[in-house]
Structure 1
Amino acid sequence: MSELFLQQIINGLSIGSVYALMAVGYSLVYSIMNFSNFAHGGVIMIGAYIGYFSLTFLKVPFFIAFVLSAFGSGILAVVMEKIVYRPLRKRNAPFLYFIISAMGASIFLENVVIASPIGPTFRSYPTVFSSEPIMLGSVALGRIDLLMFVISAISLMVLVYIIEKTKIGLSIRATSYSIKGSTLMGVNVDKVIFIIFVLGGLLAGLAGMLFGMRYTVYPQIGNITTKSFIAAVFGGLGSLPGAVIGSVLLGLIETMVSGYLSSQYRDLIAFALLILVLVVKPTGLMGKTTEDKA
């Protein structure tokens, strides 16, 4: 029994760490612009494909493919902000318009991939690491699971350093508190928004490639961000520590449910958790109270 419990803990931490990379992208955008960027799933999907084709078509080393995936997603996130969100922001459009535009952008990216030569085919990453697990006693630690956890942990620590210890991080924190106030204090809000989309896009690319390596790549892979959105709501939209904590908890809950009950109940529990949080504590575990929340 204890061995099964430890195995599920390891599995939960690995998948929860990738959820965290995705959820942080939601929280970064929400903390500044106060809306949920549902197009984030499309950015993750593109990142997964960039990593796949970098390894199979370009045949570059794993590290180079990882960098290409991150930077490709970062560029896409910035382009989307400039084309989709900035015109709405300049017109002071209602937050509902941002959400509708985000959903449209996500569907657009998904269908562009399906209509392209890539098509709707499921694709598996080539073997980069040995499939033989690392044995910790009688508990198996997959090499990809370890990679997912380590890369996610390092990426999130770098992000925390940027937010807490740098000048641009100070600007991000000031803007998240009050856009109007930070503008009056001389903060370039356009630059701050550019930076958060870059950071969110970079993390989305990493998450997309890690998730694609763990499972498969297909145009609807971005739907997994539903789980990261649940994690962000659970931890508190707008809170980076909350997004990480919520993601890890969701990963652990899912693996425990799969291990002790059935994988069929995994999504049921996840969405039930979302409803419960919205009813009992809409701001999440560590979220901030805002007038507009969507």
Structure 2
Amino acid sequence: MFLAVLQALVSGLVTGCVYALVALSICIVYKSSDLLNFAGGEFVMAGGYLALLGSVAFGLGYAAIFPLVILGAFLIGAAFDRVTLHKVRSLSRTDHAAHVPMIVATLGLSYMLKGAARVIPYTEEPRRLAPLWSGDAIFIGSVVLQRQDVVIVGVTAAIMMGLLVFFRYTMAGKGLRAISQSPRAAALAGMPVSRFRMGAWGLASAIAGIAGILLASKLLVTPDIGSIVMMAFAAAVVGGMTSLPGCVVGGMLIGVLQNLVGFLIAPQAIAITPFFIIMAVLLLRPQGLFGDGQAPKKV
């Protein structure tokens, strides 16, 4: 029994890493524009299909697939902000007045990406990428760990460290932090707020695309795989919508709790676990475990 629970914990941490990446993309958009991105899951799907396109149609390896997906997802996200959200902001009298139309725009983008995926010829049949790292399983005592799971954890850790360095030590990162704290003050200081927001959307989309690659190496890719965004929202709420480390911790907690609930209670209970967790966190600590405790903003 103990070994089975330990195995469920380890598997949950691996799954939680994917949730954490999608939660990070949601957090970056929210911090830069106070906007909930309901198309985050479809960027995961797009990343998976771009990876499959590179692998199946062009025979590319992961060394080429990762740059392809990062660039493609970045361009889609940046273009959406520049073409759609920028126009919505310019037509609104105030930033608050633009929030609802922009949220609706992200929902529209979600359906557009899902619809586009359904009409691409090779998406009719669910496919899976080759393992990120093939070979025999790794045994840590009695716990079994697949080699590609080690890569998933490693990629998540590398992205988190990269974001830490980016936001603390680069001018672009410091600019995004300034915009997240006060867009108006940043604009008065001469910072190109619209360009930084476009970059934030591109960065968030690229991270979600990477999550799509990792997910496509474990699961069959379908147009509905973007439903993972609900787990990511749960992770962001648990960790704190404004905290990047909190999103990582929240993703891992969601992954672990899901596995434990499925093992100890019933597999059918896995689907409703994130919603119970969201309600509990909102009741007990609305800002999340690592939230800054500021008053909630109008969205």
TM over 0.5: yes
Cα distance in 1 between the residues matched to 2:159 and 2:34 = 24
Cα distance in 1 between the residues matched to 2:178 and 2:295 = 15
Residue 286 of structure 1: how far off its partner (Å): 2.1
Deviates more, 1:65-74 or 1:220-229: 65-74
The C-alpha deviation readout for 1:135-184, integer Å capped at 9, x for no partner, is 12221001121111111110111011101111111111111111111111
The answer to whether structure 1 residue 292 and structure 2 residue 297 are counterparts is yes
SS in 1 for 2:233: helix
Q: How well do the aligned residues superpose, as a CA RMSD in angstroms?
A: 1.7
Aligned residues: 294
Structure 2: tracts of 5 or more residues without a match: none
The answer to whether structure 1 residue 100 and structure 2 residue 107 are counterparts is no
Which amino acid counterpart does residue 137 of structure 2 have in structure 1?
P
Indicate conservation of the 8 Å contact 1:35/1:293, yes or no: no
Partner of 2:64: 64
Which amino acid counterpart does residue 218 of structure 1 have in structure 2?
T
Cα distance in 1 between the residues matched to 2:226 and 2:212 = 8
Which amino acid counterpart does residue 246 of structure 1 have in structure 2?
G
Residue 105 of structure 1: how far off its partner (Å): 0.8
SS in 2 for 1:125: coil
SS in 1 for 2:271: helix
Seen in structure 2, the aligned counterparts of structure 1 residues 293 and 135 have a Cα distance that, compared at 3 Å, is farther
Which amino acid counterpart does residue 30 of structure 1 have in structure 2?
Y
Cα distance in 2 between the residues matched to 1:128 and 1:157 = 21
Given the alignment, which residue of 194, 213, 217 partners 2:217?
A: 213
Which amino acid counterpart does residue 252 of structure 1 have in structure 2?
V
1:136-215 superposed matches below 5 A: 136-215=140-219
Indicate conservation of the 8 Å contact 2:131/2:218, yes or no: no
Seen in structure 2, the aligned counterparts of structure 1 residues 255 and 95 have a Cα distance that, compared at 3 Å, is same
1:1-294 superposed matches below 5 A: 1-92=1-92, 93-127=97-131, 129-130=133-134, 132-288=136-292, 289-294=294-299
Cα distance in 2 between the residues matched to 1:184 and 1:291 = 24
SS in 1 for 2:297: coil
Indicate conservation of the 8 Å contact 2:241/2:247, yes or no: yes
Deviates more, 1:26-35 or 1:74-83: 74-83
Residue 131 of structure 1: how far off its partner (Å): 5.6
Structure 1: tracts of 5 or more residues without a match: none
Indicate conservation of the 8 Å contact 2:238/2:281, yes or no: yes
Cα distance in 1 between the residues matched to 2:164 and 2:149 = 22
Indicate conservation of the 8 Å contact 1:23/1:243, yes or no: yes
Cα distance in 2 between the residues matched to 1:128 and 1:39 = 26
Indicate conservation of the 8 Å contact 1:25/1:40, yes or no: yes
Cα distance in 2 between the residues matched to 1:148 and 1:253 = 19
Residue 27 of structure 1: how far off its partner (Å): 0.5
SS in 1 for 2:221: coil
Residue 232 of structure 1: how far off its partner (Å): 0.6
Indicate conservation of the 8 Å contact 2:133/2:151, yes or no: no
Residue 281 of structure 1: how far off its partner (Å): 2.5
TM-score w.r.t. structure 1 length?
Answer: 0.94
Deviates more, 1:19-28 or 1:5-14: 5-14
